[in-house]
């Protein structure tokens, strides 16, 4: 089983906090990996928030291939940060030769392009890079997006933290939103792409649980969008549905819940908006999820949210202070990160709500 | 010795022989009275008895005339093996026995010079069915716990009606941030995933049809199961057309248009919309044969309800006015949608065939979004009358064809837009829940069933040639006859009760299948939940093979 967590703060937070959040829950996960997505970057990336940052783990050949492709496409590198690694003997980590965080300026002919065109370009570029580096596992391209950085690796999260010096806070590598998870996909093959959080065009999602409608979701999603690929994990479906509902259809986030866990017909019939809800349930029947799960998601505007399956079969707790909100599968994780908070204000979301945290840390609870 | 003619018809030419034990018979006459086929008769046999009254044999003989029951030696009044004689006999003195040496198929053609017609079921194969080679094999266990069929709630409903692709939904966001449908969308009804298949008044006795309609109403009004019944192509009683119970009926139109005159005339008086319209193009058990109601069954009330004289009634195998799928969409579907002001879903029923996927593709791509269901009927079903050659040799099994249609929809990202409903031999073993569930996992939104309903009512026919006399009007249990004496054998309330009870049991069983795979709503297309114990089946259906 997975354990998932997220931190959203007014201040920039170092990934050491995410490790702290997850490590106390290690009895619930299997210590088989560490993965995080950071939104709203600080530190060395703070001055290039509008430019896309490439997050990639690769071989030397993979790095060259990717950079050549980016340069050929007209991208110009403005910043490169390679985390200092600490390869001590005995560390349980399946490390790649290079971990690259590079920020690029858009190609010149895109200077006057619309936001939509730029966003499509970034997705196309990431998909091309991913495809090119897939051969012989030359590299894994996790995200290529403004103000977002991703790190994923296989191994013991504590050792991964040691390898990347993530236990020691610094001001270089920080973000206002960090989502994290400490387990590789042990149900199927161990593949780096299978570790959540998953990222697509500003949206991040991670989940604790199973999606027993995986096949239904996959078969439908494959035809919906060129970015819906991979499907190494059943939880990727959560991200793609989020992306489809919120970005492609342009529906408010509250309707995400109506798509993935529609109200039972009996309840739906009692509602004033039954016509709308029924139309949604009908047309998006193949995006419904079943099975036990809790989802944490991040929107392009850095809103953090969570929701559960329709029977609340997986836990999630939200703890908060004046300047920080923490989502966690288990309360022990929050106790580590926010030991002095008022625990009576903790939120235990129910099966019919979405809890969102905006950029002023205002919490909203939307009942389905 | 009596002279004999080898061409004469004798009981050993027949498919069934009557076994009669004179020593147990009380000559009450019940069997003869009950045999609707007049296949047995009272006769007097001349018997000779040789005896001796002395210690040493001094044979004497005595002749007597003994009343007995005998099988009729007639190709017309032959025994169908229905076993009603055995049912009514107080002493177990009589029963039919299958005659494996029967010459009947040859004899009947030779003597009549006509194609054999009989009640509808395929009788050639008695092999293990495809569905019996499939298991529900993905059992949720540790990380994705199974549900509890008793404790959890389940959404057991299926769509009937055209469903729009998400991007075609006419929805806008209001200033309050709410989604709102701002134009009419095609009507969709969410109904129980098992529809009672289309069996007409005429094919069925009026009491049998009434019993099914009663069961349907009871299931809706008292049991909370939104089960729908399809009228079949034979009209609907006007009283029902004008009642609130019309909302549970799917009205069928087929190539004979029987009964539509009355339906059209009743439209201004309808207080409820019907549940849907089903346009029957073909029937799986006898594709290319059309419906056939023998004159023997066209009683006065059938003539009235269908608006026809007493004659053999044939629904032509094709709709004479149509020559293309595109045209059918424009002409037929549009006119029926318009007739009910686009409030009632209109679906199509076709026979499973090598061309089903092409037909389905054409409909799913129609730009009008008006075809509200694809009812696909396979070879193993059938309840009506037809030519034996059609019943036995034409048609296509349902399982792979349903799967082909679903996968065609998947390939286009259009799954669910025209709901798929499948039939054809489902529930043949008596277990419809398992069959329906497997079909749903393979991509059906729901199933429809006819033959099983007859069996719930007491039909004694089977796939091994037993009875199969639905075409004769002589149904021994009053289900497919219009003879008042036979119809009165049917206990309407009891039939309705059986159907209701079967549906209640099936509902529990469906939940018992959904719970272990961890699904609270129907697992449409969840082929990952299935496994086949046969490689060929696994490969064709694209599911995992297990052994």
How confident is the model over A114-133, as pLDDT tens digits? 999 999 999 999 999 999 99
- Nearest-neighbour CA in chain B from A237: distance (Å): 15
Optimal mutation site among A186, A271, A279, A308, interface B, most CBs of chain B within 10 A? A279
CATH numbers and ranges of domains, chain A:
4-367 (3.60.20.10)
∠ CA B249-B254-B259, rounded to 5°: 65
Contact A252 B173 (CB under 8 A): yes
pLDDT, position B334: 83
Q: How confident is the model at residue B140 (pLDDT cuts 50, 70, 90)?
A: confident
Range(s) of chain B covered by CATH 3.20.20.70: 156-509
Contact A220 B188 (CB under 8 A): no
Q: Which of B157, B185, B521 sits opposite A279 (nearest CB)?
A: B185
Contact B179 A280 (CB under 8 A): yes
pLDDT, position A307: 97
Q: How many CB atoms lie within 10 A of CB B257?
A: 16
pLDDT, position B125: 62
Question: Alpha-carbon distance B122 to B99, whole Å?
Answer: 19
pLDDT, position A186: 60
Supply the mean pLDDT for chain A: 94
Over residues B146-166, the mean pLDDT reads: 92
CA A266 vs CA A270, A278, B156, B223, B224: distances in Å: 7, 11, 11, 14, 11
pLDDT, position B306: 86
**B102 or B382, higher pLDDT:** B102
pLDDT in tens, A177-212: 999 998 766 666 778 888 899 999 999 999 998 899
Query: What are the residues facing A141 on neighbouring strands?
Result: A56
Residues of B in contact with A310 (CB under 8 A): 520
Chain A residues with at least one Cβ partner in B under 8 Å: 1, 187, 209-210, 212-216, 219-220, 222-224, 244, 248-252, 254-255, 262, 264-265, 273, 275-276, 278-280, 282-286, 288, 290-292, 310-311, 313
Contact B152 A285 (CB under 8 A): no
Q: How confident is the model at residue B294 (pLDDT cuts 50, 70, 90)?
A: confident
Residues of A in contact with B415 (CB under 8 A): 219-220, 286
Over residues A268-296, the mean pLDDT reads: 95
Contact A284 B145 (CB under 8 A): no
| Residue B385 pLDDT greater than 80, yes or no | no
B394 shares contact with chain A (CB less than 8 Å): no
Q: B432-441 and B492-514 helices cross at what angle (nearest 10)?
A: 50
Judged by phi (left if over 0) then psi (alpha if -120 to 50, else beta), residue A307 lies in beta
Q: Which of B143, B167, B179 sits opposite A276 (nearest CB)?
A: B179
Q: Where are the alpha helices (DSSP H) in B125-257?
A: 206-221, 238-241
| Residue B97 pLDDT greater than 80, yes or no | yes
The CA-based dihedral angle spanning residues B539, B541, B542, B546, taken in that order and rounded to the nearest 10 degrees: -60
Over residues A279-286, the mean pLDDT reads: 97
Q: Which of B144, B165, B525 sits opposite A283 (nearest CB)?
A: B165
Q: How confident is the model at residue B425 (pLDDT cuts 50, 70, 90)?
A: confident
Over residues A82-90, the mean pLDDT reads: 90
* CATH top-level class of B11-114: alpha beta
| Residue B418 pLDDT greater than 80, yes or no | yes
| Residue B152 pLDDT greater than 80, yes or no | yes
- For B153, the closest chain A residue by CA position comes to A264
Among A288-292, B441-445, B531-535, the range scoring the smallest mean pLDDT is A288-292
Contact A279 B171 (CB under 8 A): yes
Highest mean pLDDT among B185-189, B330-334, B381-385: B185-189
Range(s) of chain B covered by CATH 3.30.70: 11-114
| Residue B123 pLDDT greater than 70, yes or no | no
ipTM: 0.93
Chain-centre distance of CA A64, in angstroms?
A: 27
CB B32 within 8 A of CB B41: yes
Contact B144 A282 (CB under 8 A): no
B528 shares contact with chain A (CB less than 8 Å): yes
B312 shares contact with chain A (CB less than 8 Å): no
Contact A1 B143 (CB under 8 A): yes
Contact A288 B528 (CB under 8 A): no
- For B178, the closest chain A residue by CA position comes to A252
Over residues B455-466, the mean pLDDT reads: 90
pLDDT, position B386: 80
Q: For B179, which DSSP code? A: E
Residues of A in contact with B159 (CB under 8 A): 282, 285
User: How does DSSP assign B50-113, residue by residue?
Assistant: EE--SSS---EEEEEEEEEEEE---SSS------HHHHH-TT--EEEEE-TT--HHHHHHHHH-
Q: How confident is the model at residue B180 (pLDDT cuts 50, 70, 90)?
A: very high
Q: Where are the alpha helices (DSSP H) in B3-115?
A: 30-34, 84-88, 104-112
Over residues A324-333, the mean pLDDT reads: 96
Q: Which of B144, B165, B413 sits opposite A292 (nearest CB)?
A: B144
Q: Where are the beta strands (DSSP E) in A76-211?
A: 76-81, 98-105, 139-146, 148-154, 175-181, 198-200, 203-209
Among A99-113, A289-303, B102-116, B264-278, the range scoring the smallest mean pLDDT is B102-116
pLDDT, position A209: 87
Optimal mutation site among B138, B141, B153, B155, interface A, most CBs of chain A within 10 A? B155
Residues of B in contact with A283 (CB under 8 A): 163-166, 169, 416
Q: Where are the alpha helices (DSSP H) in chain A?
A: 15-23, 60-72, 115-134, 157-163, 214-221, 236-243, 254-260, 265-269, 274-283, 331-337
CA A236 vs CA A77, A152, A194, B262, B529: distances in Å: 30, 15, 8, 55, 20
| Residue B326 pLDDT greater than 80, yes or no | no
pLDDT, position B118: 84
CB A121 within 8 A of CB A106: yes
pLDDT, position B124: 64
Contact A1 B140 (CB under 8 A): no
Q: What percent of chain B has pLDDT over 70?
A: 97
Contact B177 A252 (CB under 8 A): yes
Supply the mean pLDDT for chain B: 91
> How many residue pairs bridge chain A and chain B with CB atoms within 8 Å of each other?
115
Question: Alpha-carbon distance B525 to B440, whole Å?
Answer: 6
| Residue B383 pLDDT greater than 70, yes or no | no
B190 shares contact with chain A (CB less than 8 Å): yes
Question: Alpha-carbon distance B547 to B540, whole Å?
Answer: 17
Contact A264 B177 (CB under 8 A): no
Contact B523 A213 (CB under 8 A): yes
Q: How confident is the model at residue B441 (pLDDT cuts 50, 70, 90)?
A: very high
Over residues B344-356, the mean pLDDT reads: 93
Question: Alpha-carbon distance B18 to A364, whole Å?
Answer: 80
B181 shares contact with chain A (CB less than 8 Å): yes
Contact B410 A219 (CB under 8 A): yes
Optimal mutation site among B158, B178, B179, interface A, most CBs of chain A within 10 A? B179
- Nearest-neighbour CA in chain B from A218: distance (Å): 10
pLDDT in tens, A37-67: 999 999 999 999 999 999 999 999 999 999 9
pLDDT, position B195: 98
Q: Is B486 helix (H, G, I), strand (E, B) or coil?
A: helix
Question: Alpha-carbon distance B30 to B87, whole Å?
Answer: 10
**B258 or B435, higher pLDDT:** B435
Q: Which of B155, B166, B178 sits opposite A283 (nearest CB)?
A: B166
- For B185, the closest chain A residue by CA position comes to A279
- Non-local (6+) Cβ contacts of B299 within 8 A are B482
Task: Give the CATH superfamily of B156-509.
Answer: Aldolase class I (3.20.20.70)
Residues of A in contact with B180 (CB under 8 A): 273, 276
- For B177, the closest chain A residue by CA position comes to A252
């Amino acid at each position: 089983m997975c354990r998932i967590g997220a931190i959203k703060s007014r201040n920039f937070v170092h990934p050491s906090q995410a490790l702290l959040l997850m490590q106390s829950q290690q009895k619930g996960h299997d210590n088989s990996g560490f993965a995080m997505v950071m939104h709203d970057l600080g530190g060395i990336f703070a001055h290039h928030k509008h430019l896309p940052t490439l997050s990639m783990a690769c071989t030397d050949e993979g790095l060259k291939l990717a950079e050549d492709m980016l340069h050929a496409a007209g991208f110009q590198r403005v910043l490169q940060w390679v985390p200092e690694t600490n390869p001590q003997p005995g560390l349980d980590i399946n490390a790649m030769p290079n971990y690259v965080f590079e920020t690029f300026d858009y190609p010149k002919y895109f200077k006057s392009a619309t936001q939509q065109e730029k966003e499509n370009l970034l997705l196309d570029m990431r998909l091309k890079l991913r495809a090119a580096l897939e051969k012989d596992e030359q590299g894994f391209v996790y995200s290529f997006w403004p103000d977002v950085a991703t790190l994923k690796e296989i191994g013991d999260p504590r050792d991964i933290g040691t390898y990347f010096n993530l236990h020691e806070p610094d001001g270089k590598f920080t973000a206002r939103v960090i989502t994290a998870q400490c387990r590789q996909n042990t149900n199927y093959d161990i593949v780096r792409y299978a570790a959540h959080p998953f990222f697509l065009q500003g949206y991040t999602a991670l989940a604790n649980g199973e999606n027993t409608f995986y096949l239904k979701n996959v078969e439908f999603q494959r035809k919906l969008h060129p970015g819906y690929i991979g499907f190494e994990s059943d939880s990727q479906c959560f991200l793609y549905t989020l992306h489809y509902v919120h970005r492609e259809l342009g529906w408010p986030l509250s309707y995400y819940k109506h798509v993935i866990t529609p109200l039972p017909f009996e309840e739906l019939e009692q509602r004033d908006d039954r016509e709308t809800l029924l139309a949604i349930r009908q047309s998006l029947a193949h995006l419904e999820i079943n099975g036990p799960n809790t989802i944490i998601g991040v929107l392009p505007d850095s809103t953090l949210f969570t929701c559960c399956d329709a029977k609340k079969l997986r836990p999630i707790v939200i703890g908060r202070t004046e300047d920080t909100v923490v989502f966690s599968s288990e309360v022990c994780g929050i106790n580590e990160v926010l030991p002095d908070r008022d625990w009576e204000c903790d939120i235990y979301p129910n099966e019919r709500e979405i809890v969102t945290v905006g950029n002023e840390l205002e919490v909203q609870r939307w009942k389905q | 010795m009596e002279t004999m003619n080898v061409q004469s018809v004798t009981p050993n030419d027949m498919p069934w022989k009557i076994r009669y034990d004179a020593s147990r018979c009380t000559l009450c006459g019940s069997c003869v009275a009950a045999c609707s086929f007049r296949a047995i008769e009272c006769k007097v046999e001349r018997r000779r008895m040789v005896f001796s009254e002395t210690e040493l044999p001094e044979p004497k003989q005595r002749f007597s005339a003994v009343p007995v029951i005998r099988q009729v030696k007639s190709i017309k009044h032959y025994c169908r093996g229905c076993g009603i004689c055995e049912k009514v006999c107080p002493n177990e003195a009589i029963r039919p026995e299958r005659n494996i040496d029967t010459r009947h198929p040859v004899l009947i053609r030779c003597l009549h010079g006509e194609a054999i017609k009989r009640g509808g079921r395929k009788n050639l194969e008695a092999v293990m069915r495809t569905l019996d080679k499939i298991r529900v094999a993905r059992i949720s266990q540790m990380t994705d716990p199974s549900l509890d069929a008793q404790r959890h709630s389940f959404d057991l409903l299926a769509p009937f009606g055209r469903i729009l692709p998400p991007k075609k939904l006419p929805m806008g966001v209001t200033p309050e941030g709410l989604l709102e449908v701002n134009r009419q969308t095609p009507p969709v009804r969410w109904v129980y995933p098992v529809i009672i298949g289309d069996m007409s008044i005429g094919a069925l006795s009026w009491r049998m049809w009434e019993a099914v309609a009663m069961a349907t109403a009871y299931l809706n009004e008292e049991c909370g199961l939104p089960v729908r019944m399809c009228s079949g192509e034979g009209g609907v009683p006007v009283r029902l057309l004008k009642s609130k119970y019309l909302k549970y009926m799917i009205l069928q139109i087929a190539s004979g248009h029987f009964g539509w005159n009355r339906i059209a005339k009743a439209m201004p008086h309808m207080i409820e919309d019907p549940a849907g319209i089903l346009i029957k193009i073909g029937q799986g058990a006898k594709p290319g044969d059309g419906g056939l109601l023998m004159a023997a069954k066209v009683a006065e009330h059938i003539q009235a309800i269908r608006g026809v004289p007493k004659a053999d009634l044939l629904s032509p195998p094709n709709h004479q006015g149509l020559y293309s799928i595109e045209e059918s969409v424009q002409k037929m579907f549009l006119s029926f949608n318009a007739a009910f002001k686009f409030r009632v879903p209109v679906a199509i029923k076709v026979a499973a065939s090598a061309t089903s996927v092409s037909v389905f593709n054409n409909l799913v791509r129609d730009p009008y979004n008006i075809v509200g269901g694809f009812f696909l009927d396979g070879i193993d079903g059938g309840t009506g009358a037809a030519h034996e050659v059609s019943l036995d040799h034409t048609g296509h099994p349902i399982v792979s064809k349903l799967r082909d249609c679903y996968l065609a929809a998947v390939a286009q990202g259009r799954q669910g837009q025209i709901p798929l409903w499948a039939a054809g031999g489902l529930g043949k073993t008596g277990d419809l829940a398992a069959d329906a569930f497997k079909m749903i996992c393979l991509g059906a939104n729901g199933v429809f069933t006819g033959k099983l309903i007859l069996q719930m009512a007491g039909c004694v026919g089977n796939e091994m040639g037993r009875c199969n006399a639905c075409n004769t009007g002589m149904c021994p249990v009053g289900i497919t006859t219009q003879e008042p004496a036979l119809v009165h054998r049917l206990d309407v309330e009891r039939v309705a009760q059986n159907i209701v009870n079967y549906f209640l049991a099936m509902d529990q069983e469906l939940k018992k299948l959904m719970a272990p795979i961890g699904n609270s709503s129907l697992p449409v297309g969840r082929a990952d939940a299935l496994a086949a114990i046969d490689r060929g089946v696994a490969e064709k259906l694209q599911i995992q093979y297990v052994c």
